[in-house]
Structure 1
Amino acid sequence: MNFLRHRLKCLPALVLLCAAVGCSSADDRASAAVPSPAAKAAKLCRNLDAALPSKVDGQGRRDPEPASALTAGWGDAAIILRCGVERPAKMSDSLADSGEVNGVAWLMEKQRDGRYRCTTALRLAYVEVTLPGGDGAGPLVDLASAIKKAIPEGIAD
């Protein structure tokens, strides 16, 4: 009887442990809508995926779901890259915030939730990077080399 009572006392801890292990799997990954670019841009985006760094702003690569060569992520859903996105409407606004980081031009849009969405300009495919608020340009610095290597300058279709 003591043996059975001892086993039943451990049961809640075992259930809690199993639940914690189940929750810490791939279920906690960020999600990102996968763009559907034209074939030319999709090829450039696949080249970019192969050139992306394993770390951005000191955070390891952790791609969002669903898995795609058109999306990438670093950290706990903090930095998300999507390649082959549509041209943002704000790109036509002469008053829009823009800048250049290590040779890559960016349109920078602050989102309602405090995050920033940065989209490349003057490249043959649009690359969008979503950053947590207040992170600065560190992630864009880390991504610039790969973008310059894989996405040539020009005007995207």
Structure 2
Amino acid sequence: MNLSRHRPSGVPARLPALALVLLCAAAGCSSADDSASAAVPSPTAKTVKLCRNLDEALPSKVDGQSRRDPEPASALTAGWGDPAIILRCGVERPPKMVDPKVAQGRDADAVAGGVNGVDWLMEKRDGGGYRFTTASRLAYVEVTVPEGTDSSGVLIDLASAIKKAVPEGIAD
């Protein structure tokens, strides 16, 4: 079949492809999905196993937002919604977790508390939003919640998966 008869004379064969590329560039198209990104932790093998168990137990929705995992793909990270709620399993212990001012409630930027049987360190982030890190679990699980998101709903939705997959104890 001769495709050139369907093209006006004088129009190069590559012009439709070039037009599509330019249209995508102008419209903000991307070949990759617009997933959030998250640094993948590098925990011990024992912690990786706990994190893989957590990944399998995580809910498909958190605070009404569907799961949309960040890039690069990893069983140690998960995400929901846009702007993204990001979970990272196997992170390092936050320095403020051992700060006596936090334990005594004197640090306004970091507060300890519990939600549905999971203890958390809550830290206010520069630019808004919060970072929560589990305490008294065999792996540290960090959850970042963007400004304007109901953080209590997020922690309630994640509590049962964390309790199921990451036993209580002191992380390495």
TM range (shorter): 0.7 to 0.9
Q: Structure 1 or 2: larger helix share?
A: 1
Match of residue 8 from structure 1: none
Post-superposition CA distance 1:104-124 (Å, at most 9, x none): 000000011112000000000
Distance 2:114 2:143 in 1: 14
- Give TM-score scaled by structure 2 length: 0.79
Q: Is the 8 A contact 2:83 2:146 kept in 1?
A: no
Larger mean Cα displacement after TM superposition, 106-115 or 89-98: 89-98
Alignment gaps of 5+ in structure 2: 1-7, 11-15
SS at match of 1:97: strand
Which aligned pairs between 1:99-114 and structure 2 lie closer than 5 A?
A: 99-114=113-128
User: Which of 1 and 2 has greater Rg?
Assistant: 2
Match of residue 130 from structure 2: 116
Distance 1:140 1:102 in 2: 8
Aligned partner of 1:126: which letter? Y
Match of residue 147 from structure 2: 133
Aligned partner of 2:124: which letter? K
Offset of residue 18 of structure 1: 3.1
Alignment gaps of 5+ in structure 1: 6-10
Match of residue 76 from structure 1: 82
Aligned partner of 1:122: which letter? S
SS at match of 1:144: helix
Q: How many pairs align?
A: 152
Question: What's the C-alpha RMSD, in Å, of the aligned pairs?
Answer: 2.3
Match of residue 164 from structure 2: 149
Offset of residue 132 of structure 1: 1.0
Distance 2:114 2:31 in 1: 38
